[in-house]
């Protein structure tokens, strides 16, 4: 099933893409002048899901531009979508999915009504089930750096029917452990989008880091 918002068509649900690709790159605080080259480096490195957080200066403009630049290579979403107003702004800019650090059931319902994937942020079992009942096809467990992998494993025991994306604390050394603990996917910020490298023009390092993460994910999927 397809839908369009004037910038071309995309699948109604990106859940299958999320489950297959397993990595969402988070661009937070990136300067507009660096954004396109950084996204190009990640796309060349094999990253297929990229979000620009709404608290990044010029986020809506970046999202709109990336839909044109990378529409055939990657799915572009909005992150840190806190409320319905921001959800509508992000969709108007061309966002193909919405991710939040919080659960706003209005945003989930809006996404469902518009055929727009929404993966809200949750922490407790109650929030997870509320998000699922509201229509979220997957949830974002946050903040994983503080919660830890044992917490994720405990959540998955009774709630294994709900796909969970874990965000926070992911490194090359432990990303496989996230999947073993029950994460269907991971959200990654600075460990993947190193803004120091970006500002220094070391886009070769950004691409190399992306390839390394994609390689680890592929190896894990192949082995399991």
Catalytic sites, residue numbers: 51, 140
Q: Could you give the C-alpha distances from 75 to 55, 68, 219, in angstroms and in order?
A: 19, 11, 22
What is the separation of C-alpha 32 from the centre of its chain, rounded to a whole number of angstroms? 19
Alpha-carbon gap, residue 93 to 105, rounded angstroms? 21
3-state secondary structure of 207: helix
Cis preceding linkage at 143, omega within 30: yes
Q: Could you give the C-alpha distances from 194 to 98, 115, 151, 181, in angstroms and in order?
A: 22, 32, 27, 26
């Amino acid at each position: 099933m397809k839908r369009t918002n004037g910038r071309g068509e995309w699948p109604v649900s990106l859940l299958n893409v999320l489950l297959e690709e397993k990595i969402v790159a988070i661009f937070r605080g990136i300067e507009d002048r660096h954004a396109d080259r950084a996204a190009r480096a990640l796309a060349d490195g094999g990253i297929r899901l990229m979000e620009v957080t709404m608290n990044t200066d010029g986020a809506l403009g970046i999202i709109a531009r990336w839909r044109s630049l990378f529409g055939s290579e990657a799915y572009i979403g909005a992150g840190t979508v806190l409320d319905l107003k921001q959800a509508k702004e992000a969709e108007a800019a061309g966002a193909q999915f919405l991710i939040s650090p919080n659960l706003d059931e209005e945003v989930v319902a809006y996404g469902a009504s518009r055929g727009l994937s929404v993966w809200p942020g949750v922490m407790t079992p109650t929030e997870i089930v509320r998000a699922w009942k509201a229509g979220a096809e997957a949830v974002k467990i946050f903040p994983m750096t503080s919660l830890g992998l044992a917490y994720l494993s405990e959540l998955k025991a009774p709630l294994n029917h709900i796909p969970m994306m874990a965000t926070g604390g992911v490194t090359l050394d432990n990303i496989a452990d996230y999947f073993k603990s029950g994460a269907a996917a991971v959200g990654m910020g600075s460990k993947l989008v190193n803004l120091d490298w970006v500002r220094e023009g070391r886009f070769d390092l950004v691409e190399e880091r992306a390839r390394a993460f994609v390689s680890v994910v592929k190896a894990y999927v192949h082995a399991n």
